[in-house]
Structure 1
């Protein structure tokens, strides 16, 4: 009697799923080490403390959950403010493991099998492996001073999902799964390029906010160092405090973008820092907050800062114009530019939402900007900048040719139909 065996595609999918579960678990261990190792170093640097090394592991594990956008609580205090930079580090580490997995599995399956293997094997297996490791880590926090919330365990899937999305949602990549390329084929011809440019635009906006943060810290370095010295920490413990603040610079970048967009942000209940005025109020004793402006009322000229996101939109529009050929199709040019700008603002909106939250009680129960007003303002400013550039380019091309004849506007793909 002949033995029954699974079809080849079933075996390939099952094998990929098993490999993905292992890779997902290893990725979770890698991100966990990012916070637990510094926690242990901090414990070693404070020998006068009464807590044991396992308490340091418990605290580090709780911070690991916070870095995934989840909340932790203890002694009546809830912390839900996600360090944006830590979240991005987790995504980077996870994406490295995911890239290795995808490269290995892609090399051993055919083009026809790849889409099914990625959809049914790699994606679910990787997320299951990562979440399984998270379940083990949650056990370490039992009996600790701070513990993750009820939704923390399934919520940790956000990091592997974002990492895999970054790796697989690449419509211009020939190694992308067929179903991904199929999604984008259903849209306009310019959609793949607008997708890529939108994510590049998100990096531009985030970089602009981060540059302002670094500049403010440098201009107020004396005040920042004065607050840091008040802690009286040893060099090793001081390094841990500095590292913790570095992880919050991403949050500060989104707060700066909220300021540049117009609505502003708050550090504590009742405080506001916007182009209209700065009323920070009583702030927590965190050195980096020494870079915030003091009590002041600004003139209406301060609203000129909205030109920063507007100019970012202009640059996004220039990228769209450079990478695509529209052949006189002004409507396609404007629509592609608007979609690219919206994608950029949407990514920043996600980071702003993650970077908001609670770091205590009462006045510190809500820290950060109001997400919806900030996203709405940024969307108007960025898209307006891109549309102004696109309209100007269309006007220049029509003026130089006198007709809407096909005009080469970039070295990229076709995005509009010839008239």
Structure 2
């Protein structure tokens, strides 16, 4: 009897992991899109009631605002009173990416029984389970996005369907596809074919980026705390009540990741612009008239910065050095080539990825001067690759030397 129950349980588990791939993946993509869209629609309704208790406009107007905000999180951009606004609220994009990751893992688990098994894959048999599932996930997502664009877009707002589709497909294939690979177990199988040095380089890259975002975020918070009075004064001049302040705070939170990338570009040295002809960097600050936005209170004063700000540019090298040392402490190696590859490749990859984030963090936020707001992308990428790569290289060399030294001392102790 016990054997029969076990057989039945195994049969149910096998069926659970062999659900229809096309149906599960397509519905997963649609669910990922709909879940974040519903949150944005609810936020639009909430903001409508908080600002004027629903005395102006209609609920469909609030729903349209929420839908347009969701599309902006996919890079669509919009036009406000004839002025293009192309900046992407990366806070919303991160929520979308996290949702795709979680649903991708569930889809991967549901379709893990499709395709060849681990032994067949190791023997070189072609396995298209993950690419097919990721493509269908993207297709389901694109359908929801296209319908939303059709219902929410107007000639006055003109969000770009092409850009939003491109962003959604990339997010589905990269983030959702990675989730499917992990959930289906393919990622673990594929990782076995990757050299250890490259796998550890990827781990080093992740640690460098996380460390850098932490440092940049702390510097941003410190700058806001120092000029907190300015931020409060901005809010008071906007004459906002409790509802308006809540909506304004939510809007500010949606671009906090953008501000952290700006902070990282500043600490690297090249800095960023907050309007045509402006520059904010450790060596020079040239500002003009600025819009009334609380996060801008973190900007340094116009003019020549204090001499000590130049030393901030040592932070990226130190972060990469510390992250590489920690990675090698958790996964030690006594081989010079592996230690160098881990640190240098991890640092260079982290620099390239940060440069990519710098490219998508900026954009137009208003008319006139405010059409150019964002990090200096090319310079930021070069500085990031150099600083992170050098810090990773030094960390890899030092960590390898220390580990070889410990190994030599242990060998001498065992064989005096």
Q: One fold, TM greater than 0.5?
A: yes
Q: Distance in 1 between matches of 2:209 and 2:302?
A: 31
Q: Is 1:119 aligned to residue 125 of structure 2?
A: no
Q: 2:258 touches 2:361 (CA, 8 Å); kept in 1? A: yes
Aligned partner of 2:271 in structure 1 is 264
Among candidates 281, 284, 302, match of residue 277 of structure 1: 284
Q: 1:213 touches 1:249 (CA, 8 Å); kept in 2? A: no
In the TM superposition, residue 150 of structure 1 has moved relative to its aligned partner by 4.4
Identify which range, 264-273 or 119-128, moves more after superposition: 119-128
TM-superposition CA deviations, 1:321-340 (whole Å, max 9, x none): 1243433x212211121111
In the TM superposition, residue 108 of structure 1 has moved relative to its aligned partner by 7.3
TM-superposition CA deviations, 1:332-385 (whole Å, max 9, x none): 211121111223223322222221111122201111111121011011111211
Structure number having the greater helix percentage: 2
TM-superposition CA deviations, 1:163-186 (whole Å, max 9, x none): 22442566xx9x5326x844x556
Aligned partner of 1:414 in structure 2 is none
Aligned partner of 1:383 in structure 2 is 389
Aligned partner of 2:106 in structure 1 is 100
Give the secondary-structure state (helix, strand or coil) at the position aligned to 1:116.
Answer: coil
Q: Is 1:345 aligned to residue 351 of structure 2?
A: yes
Distance 1:48 1:85, change over 3 A: closer
Q: Distance in 1 between matches of 2:215 and 2:314?
A: 12
Normalising by structure 2, we get a TM-score of: 0.85
Aligned partner of 2:3 in structure 1 is none
RMSD of aligned alpha carbons:
2.8
Q: Distance in 2 between matches of 1:237 and 1:98?
A: 36
Give the secondary-structure state (helix, strand or coil) at the position aligned to 1:129.
Answer: helix
Q: 1:74 touches 1:147 (CA, 8 Å); kept in 2? A: no
In the TM superposition, residue 196 of structure 1 has moved relative to its aligned partner by 2.8
Q: Distance in 1 between matches of 2:18 and 2:77?
A: 35
Q: Distance in 1 between matches of 2:405 and 2:193?
A: 34
Among candidates 159, 162, 169, match of residue 171 of structure 2: 159
Distance 1:169 1:211, change over 3 A: farther
Aligned partner of 1:409 in structure 2 is none
TM-superposition CA deviations, 1:368-414 (whole Å, max 9, x none): 111121011011111211211222234445566779x99xxxxxxxx
In the TM superposition, residue 314 of structure 1 has moved relative to its aligned partner by 0.8
Q: Distance in 2 between matches of 1:71 and 1:391?
A: 45
Q: Distance in 1 between matches of 2:88 and 2:48?
A: 23
Q: Distance in 1 between matches of 2:103 and 2:403?
A: 47
Among candidates 32, 35, 45, match of residue 40 of structure 1: 45
Q: 1:28 touches 1:130 (CA, 8 Å); kept in 2? A: yes
Distance 1:147 1:20, change over 3 A: same
Give the secondary-structure state (helix, strand or coil) at the position aligned to 1:368.
Answer: strand
Q: 1:358 touches 1:367 (CA, 8 Å); kept in 2? A: yes
Give the secondary-structure state (helix, strand or coil) at the position aligned to 1:51.
Answer: coil
Distance 1:396 1:283, change over 3 A: same
Q: 2:197 touches 2:341 (CA, 8 Å); kept in 1? A: no
TM-superposition CA deviations, 1:86-122 (whole Å, max 9, x none): 2111111222222222222226776359983633442
TM-superposition CA deviations, 1:17-71 (whole Å, max 9, x none): 2111111101101111232211111112224764322122222212112111232
Q: Is 1:359 aligned to residue 365 of structure 2?
A: yes
Q: How many residues align?
A: 389
Among candidates 208, 220, 227, match of residue 227 of structure 2: 220
In the TM superposition, residue 142 of structure 1 has moved relative to its aligned partner by 3.4
In the TM superposition, residue 240 of structure 1 has moved relative to its aligned partner by 1.0
Among candidates 162, 169, 185, match of residue 176 of structure 1: 185
Q: Distance in 2 between matches of 1:169 and 1:19?
A: 15
Q: Is 1:230 aligned to residue 237 of structure 2?
A: yes
Among candidates 27, 44, 54, match of residue 22 of structure 1: 27
Identify which range, 153-162 or 363-372, moves more after superposition: 153-162
Q: Is 1:147 aligned to residue 158 of structure 2?
A: yes
Aligned partner of 1:335 in structure 2 is 341
Aligned partner of 1:134 in structure 2 is 145
Identify which range, 246-255 or 106-115, moves more after superposition: 106-115
Q: 1:338 touches 1:386 (CA, 8 Å); kept in 2? A: yes
In the TM superposition, residue 293 of structure 1 has moved relative to its aligned partner by 1.4
Distance 1:190 1:107, change over 3 A: same
Q: 1:16 touches 1:117 (CA, 8 Å); kept in 2? A: no
Q: Distance in 2 between matches of 1:300 and 1:238?
A: 37
Aligned partner of 1:410 in structure 2 is none
Aligned partner of 1:188 in structure 2 is 195
Among candidates 196, 200, 207, match of residue 200 of structure 1: 207
Identify which range, 49-58 or 234-243, moves more after superposition: 49-58
Distance 1:392 1:136, change over 3 A: same
